């Protein structure tokens, strides 16, 4: 049921506010509606506000502010009911507004908000004046705040300037200190670089001295190794001679007896061969037969010259092997690596020994083949062919040294032929009385 307000045409309901409600006034109006909200029943509330009936006043003002302001503006009955609650809450203010004389000490925002709700005559002027007053108050407050902020900023600027000045002095001091430290570090760096250069020069000198010492050490080691090999070779010869002497002593005869007997057999065979070669008659030569003359049907000196052979002719080797008690000593690897170096060592040895066996069977000469033991990674399981003696040098002894030992072991006068291309071996055996032949000659003969 709509209550009568007792107002007539002289009230201000016909007045219209031609500008937006100032923010401060609007907040006070919303708060008045929120406070008077609780005194109304649900049916007395506009439909759009009934959902906020159970909210507390602060929550109503927060969540339903726009809805309450719109309802207050568009619903006169709701505005009237809120005005009745406002009169009950603030009778002095509302009474003064209705009498047309608002209290001068009252807050203009409260006066404007009450006038907006009650709508007395001249309420638009009150709201407008309150808005202007609020704006002036806001402007003054803003000016005060701006002045306070300006003073604060000036104070901050002064402090910043002081701080900047102090910081500048500190940085200038630190810069001077840093410059001094940098100068000191540059001096230390130059000194360190000088020390490094001197150290590098000393290091290069030490490296040169070390290389010299290392080279001398290598030379001394090489000389020591050579001397060690020589001593080992002499020791091996001594041991071999001692063993031969012991063996000869056990058999009841000495090595010299054996060498003399072998030399005697060589001389006898040579004499018999010479007799066969010269075809000497069983009778003694007559003195007349010793006269140098050319008989009809006999060879002339030109015919004899035609019998000379080249030193590379394999027939020379056949003539040497035909000598009585001839002994052929072969430098094994020197021959095989001259003739067929592409084959493995094992096949080289087997091929050479097979060919030497055939040569020994053809000529009847004693054949000894010497291999360098340093070429072997393990002992060789080998059955020497018939008629060929196979020897490997001991550790630390080369095949060349073993060949020289074999030549020195033979008695002077026995024909010993050494097949090797090594010039050092050839010269050594030649000085010992043996006849060196090239490996290529032996290979031609074997082929």
User: Across the strands, what pairs with 435?
Assistant: 417
Domains of the chain: 23-140 (no CATH), 311-446 (3.40.50)
Its sign, for the CA torsion 282, 286, 289, 291, is positive
**Is the predicted pLDDT of residue 293 greater than 50, yes or no?**
no
**Is the predicted pLDDT of residue 280 greater than 70, yes or no?**
no
385-394 confidence digits (pLDDT tens): 888 999 998 8
User: 75 or 422: which carries more pLDDT confidence?
Assistant: 422
**Is the predicted pLDDT of residue 19 greater than 80, yes or no?**
no
DSSP letters along 148-160, please? HHHHHHHHHHHHH
pLDDT of 134: 65
**Is the predicted pLDDT of residue 302 greater than 60, yes or no?**
no
Question: What percentage of the chain has pLDDT greater than the value 70?
Answer: 78
Buried-exposed string 129-166: b where 16+ CB fall within 10 A, e elsewhere: bbbebbeeeeeeeeeeeeeeeeeeeeeeeeeeeeeeee
**Is the predicted pLDDT of residue 104 greater than 60, yes or no?**
yes
Asked if residue 311 lies in contact with residue 304, where contact means CB atoms within 8 angstroms, the answer is no
193-238 confidence digits (pLDDT tens): 999 999 999 999 999 999 999 888 888 988 888 888 888 888 888 8
Average pLDDT over residues 87-109: 73
pLDDT of 243: 82
Which is nearest to 369 in space by CA: 439, 440, 316, 430? Answer: 439
**Is the predicted pLDDT of residue 327 greater than 70, yes or no?**
yes
pLDDT of 298: 41
Among 168-177, 303-312, 334-343, whose mean pLDDT is lowest? 303-312
Which is nearest to 127 in space by CA: 108, 99, 104? Answer: 108
pLDDT band with cut points at 50, 70 and 90 for residue 301: very low
Residue 373 carries which DSSP code? G
**Is the predicted pLDDT of residue 322 greater than 80, yes or no?**
yes
**Is the predicted pLDDT of residue 286 greater than 70, yes or no?**
no
d(CA 280, CA 272): 10
d(CA 219, CA 205): 21
User: Across the strands, what pairs with 368?
Assistant: 329, 389
pLDDT band with cut points at 50, 70 and 90 for residue 352: very high
113-137 confidence digits (pLDDT tens): 777 777 777 677 777 776 676 667 6
Most confident of 35-44, 189-198, 263-272: 189-198
User: 224 or 8: which carries more pLDDT confidence?
Assistant: 224
Q: What is this structure's pTM?
A: 0.37
Q: Compute the mean pLDDT over every residue in the chain, rounded to the nearest whole number.
A: 78
């Amino acid at each position: 049921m709509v209550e009568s307000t007792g107002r007539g045409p002289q009230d201000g309901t016909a007045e219209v506010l031609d500008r937006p409600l100032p923010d401060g006034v609007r907040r006070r109006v919303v708060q008045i509606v929120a406070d008077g909200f609780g005194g109304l029943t649900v049916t007395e509330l506009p439909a759009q506000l009934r959902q906020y009936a159970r909210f507390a006043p602060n929550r109503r003002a927060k969540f339903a502010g726009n809805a309450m302001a719109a309802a207050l503006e568009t619903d006169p009955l709701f505005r009237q009911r809120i005005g009745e609650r406002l009169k009950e809450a603030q009778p002095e203010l509302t009474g003064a507004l209705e009498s047309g004389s608002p209290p001068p000490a009252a807050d203009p925002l409260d006066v404007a908000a009450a006038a907006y709700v009650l709508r007395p005559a001249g309420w638009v002027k009150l709201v407008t004046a309150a808005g202007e007053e609020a704006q002036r108050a806001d402007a003054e407050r803003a000016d005060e705040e701006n002045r306070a902020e300006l003073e604060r900023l000036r104070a901050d600027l002064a402090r910043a300037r002081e701080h900047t000045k102090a910081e500048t002095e500190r940085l200038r001091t630190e810069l001077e200190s840093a410059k001094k430290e940098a100068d000191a570090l540059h001096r230390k760096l130059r000194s360190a670089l000088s020390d490094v250069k001197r150290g590098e020069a000393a290091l290069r000198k030490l490296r040169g001295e070390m290389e010299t010492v290392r080279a001398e050490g290598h030379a001394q080691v090489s000389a020591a190794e050579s001397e060690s090999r020589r001593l080992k070779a002499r020791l091996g010869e001594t041991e071999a001679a001692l063993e031969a002497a012991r063996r000869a002593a056990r058999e009841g005869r000495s090595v010299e007896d054996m060498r003399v007997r072998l030399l005697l057999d060589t001389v006898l065979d040579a004499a018999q061969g010479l007799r066969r070669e010269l075809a000497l008659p069983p009778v003694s030569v007559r003195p007349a037969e010793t006269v140098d003359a050319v008989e009809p049907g006999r060879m002339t000196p030109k015919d004899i010259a035609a019998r000379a052979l080249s030193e590379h002719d394999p027939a020379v080797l056949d003539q040497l092997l035909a000598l009585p008690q001839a002994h052929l000593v072969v430098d094994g690897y020197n021959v095989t690596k001259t003739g067929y170096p592409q084959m493995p060592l094992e096949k080289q040895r087997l091929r050479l020994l097979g060919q030497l066996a055939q040569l020994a069977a053809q000529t009847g000469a004693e054949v000894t083949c010497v291999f360098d033991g340093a070429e072997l990674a393990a002992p060789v399981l080998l059955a020497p062919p018939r008629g060929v003696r196979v020897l490997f040098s001991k550790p630390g002894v080369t095949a060349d040294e073993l060949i020289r030992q074999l030549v020195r072991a033979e008695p002077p006068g026995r024909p010993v032929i050494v097949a090797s291309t090594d010039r050092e071996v050839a010269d050594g055996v030649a000085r010992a009385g043996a006849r060196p032949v090239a490996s290529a000659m032996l290979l031609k003969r074997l082929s």
